Amino acid sequence: MRFRDGRSESRESSPMEASFAQGAPPITLIDGDKLVDPLIEYGIGIRKRAIEILTIDLDSYRT
């Protein structure tokens, strides 16, 4: 099979090459922190739950 731009189906291309192909939609690459922050902000794909944090009261052990 041949594509409109002359590539054949058997030719492997890297994601970067594919992103520059004629007619390809724009792609924005972001790192994990930039991805997770908006997901948390808008509550997408996350579950919030309260956790109990225990600490030791060292004063109760002093005599």
Is residue 4 in a domain? no
Is residue 7 in a domain? no
In the block, residue with structure tokens 């291309």: 13
Structural domain count, the chain: 1
Is residue 2 in a domain? no
CB 45 within 8 A of CB 39: yes
User: What is the SS3 assignment for 8?
Assistant: strand
CB 7 within 8 A of CB 13: yes
Is residue 19 in a domain? yes
Dihedral sign (CA 20, 23, 26, 27): negative
User: pLDDT tens digit string along 22-51?
Assistant: 888 887 878 888 889 889 999 999 998 999
Domain that holds residue 27: 15-61
Instruction: State mean pLDDT over 1-29.
Output: 71
The pTM assigned to this predicted structure is: 0.36
* Tokens describing residue 27: 């792609």
Is residue 6 in a domain? no
